[in-house]
Chains A and B, each alone.
Chain A
Amino acid sequence: MNVSAGKMLFIVGLFSISAFAVQMFASVENSEEIAIHPKADDAPLFPVKINPANQLAEIPTDRKDANGNPVLVSCQSCHGVRNPNPKNGSTGPLVSFHQDLSFVHGKLVCISCHNPEGSYSDFRLASGESIKPEDVMQLCAQCHGPQFRDYQHGSHGGMTGHWDLRKGMRQRNHCVNCHDPHKPAFPLFRPAAGPNDRFPPHHTKETHE
């Protein structure tokens, strides 16, 4: 596996906000190739690239750095020496760290996904089988089968590039690009400006009802 700039920073233990930023840039270079559906004809197809998952290897603490940003700490610094609480399914009981982490994801508990036997930033499937970070979509797919099926058929998740893979490549979002795994519900959006018709409705329905 390539060692990205983010990894380097992680290894030397520099907790700085720049780590996230650099990782985001690095992640684009790191994309993996998955040919989602090969065409029947033999024309050479361009790849469909999926953005990698943003790796969550650190967690913000209550300390602030010089810029006022929270200081990040590696999962491993604590979980390397602590025994996990297998029943914990919320951030409420967590007295140190994790305070800014809200966890709203069904009835899952932390170790439903985080592998307590590994480095905690690693993941495991429901079967207990450990999975590689790049296969993390499998983790989501365990429960969200229909979404995964739709994703595989191009009808779930944003994309850019070419509809015709004979002409060019396509870049696709990863599950966690849009859904925070700890709080996967899509956030509310402030919509872009609406139509500016010359004669807007006399009464919008909202004011009328």
Chain B
Amino acid sequence: MSDSKASLPIIDHPEVNRRRFLKTAGATLGLAAWAAAMKPLLELTPEVNADEFLQKHYRELTPEQKTVVFKRLEEETKEEYNADVTISDPQPMDNVLFGYALNLSACIGCRKCAEACHIENNHDRASNNSYIRVFEMDMGGIDFEKGNANYDHPVPAPGKYYMPVQCQQCENAPCVTACPIEATWKEKDGIVVVDYNWCIGCRYCEAACPYHARRFNWEKPEIPAEEVNPNQSYLSNRIRPQGVMEKCTFCLHRTREGRLPACLEACPTGARVFGNLLDPDSEIRWVIENKRTFVLKEELGTRPRFFYYFDE
């Protein structure tokens, strides 16, 4: 009782002053230790800079701002990868909706498509990353439980067929819905793209995708300068920064200029058919209308634009 009265006013109490001094010293030490603990942040790659930090969402950039951004990215690629690249920005074509079909009777599982994707899209060399994953499946069903993506023997093996899986460019894409910041969206021509400079890397889209189509840049991609594909575009195959999502874009830097995707050109058996779903005379339309096509996990209602079919 008397203690409590004696303690007031607290300010002038010598014990309190000593305590306050000790606390201040402690807090200072604590702050210094905190700063020391956070030191690795100072060694961030130069791509994390003020311009990048303040950059607006792709769809809000004016043409002038885009020019500045692309130039900056080209310079950064030169600086960090010692490669001279051009970053273009091809726009969706009018009356074009891309579709892809894959003939499972023809595919022999040679992984040439995955390899072409790896080279075309400037993937990290060490992880041998590719947007295409080829599954060796047991004849007699479409059961991924019996599938194996790590086979390494001459193909096609007896009793097996092969099922390459890549982004299905869903009409009703769960990844687009999931993204909290609209860093991924569906373009007019049906291609789901990612703004690599807007993504925060929460990987919710990767959890949402039923097709294992999305990839995360777990570290900064490493590519030797001479192997960098210099023909790049902002929304597709430019070298991705660390810590963001990436995905197959049907090679939009090629396909929006009328060219075939890299995986199709690489296919030695012609198992792949690509084209404009809105053109009734296109090959893709002929396949859909005349072959028994199916889509993966149709029951999920994602409405893929990637079709599989068998011959007769």
Contact = CB atoms under 8 A, between A and B. Distances in A.
A137 to B, nearest CB: 14
Nearest to B98: A163
B150 A161 contact: no
Interface string A166-209: 11101001000010000000101111111111101100111000
A162 B260 contact: yes
Main SS at interface, chain A? loop
B265 A160 contact: yes
Interface stretch (B18-26, B48-56, B65-73, B151-159): B151-159
User: B101, B150, B264: which has the most chain A beta carbons within 10 Å?
Assistant: B150
A156 interface: yes
Nearest to A147: B311
Given A161-B260, A163-B260, A196-B126, A188 B148 contact: no
A189 B108 contact: yes
B146 interface: yes
A206 B148 contact: yes
A45 to B, nearest CB: 11
B106 A156 contact: yes
Interface string B256-280: 0111100011011110011110011
Interface in B186-204: none
B294 interface: no
B303 interface: no
B133 interface: yes
A24 interface: no
Given A39-B281, A158-B269, A178-B268, A188 B258 contact: no
Contact of A158 (B149, B267, B281, B282): B267
Contacts of A167: 257-259
Interface residues of A, number: 40
Contacts, number: 130
Nearest to A46: B258
Given A163-B274, A192-B115, A205-B148, A150 B311 contact: yes
Contact of B128 (A161, A168, A178, A193): A193
A200 B287 CA distance: 36
B255 interface: yes
A22 to B, nearest CB: 24
Q: How large is the interface on B (under 10, 10 to 19, 20 to 34, 35 or more residues)?
A: 35 or more
Contacts of B154: 188-191
Residue among A37, A170, A189, A193 having the largest count of chain B Cβ atoms under 10 Å: A189
Contacts of B112: 192
A160 B146 CA distance: 33
Contacts of B286: 153-155
B303 to A, nearest CB: 22
B265 A198 contact: no
Interface in B108-143: 108-112, 114-115, 126-130, 133-134
A192 B151 CA distance: 10
Contacts of A150: 311
Nearest to A173: B270
B84 interface: no
A160 B283 CA distance: 14
A131 B62 CA distance: 61
Interface in A134-154: 146, 150, 153-154
Nearest to B101: A155
Nearest to B283: A154
B270 A159 contact: yes
B229 interface: no
B276 to A, nearest CB: 7
A136 to B, nearest CB: 18
14 contacts: A154-B275, A157-B270, A158-B270, A163-B255, A166-B258, A178-B269, A186-B269, A189-B154, A190-B155, A191-B109, A191-B153, A191-B155, A193-B115, A193-B128
Interface of A: 37, 39-40, 146, 150, 153-164, 166-168, 170, 173, 178, 186, 188-198, 200-201, 204-206
Sort A-B residue pairs by CB-CB distance and give the 7 closest, nearest first: A167-B258, A154-B283, A164-B258, A196-B128, A157-B270, A192-B111, A188-B154
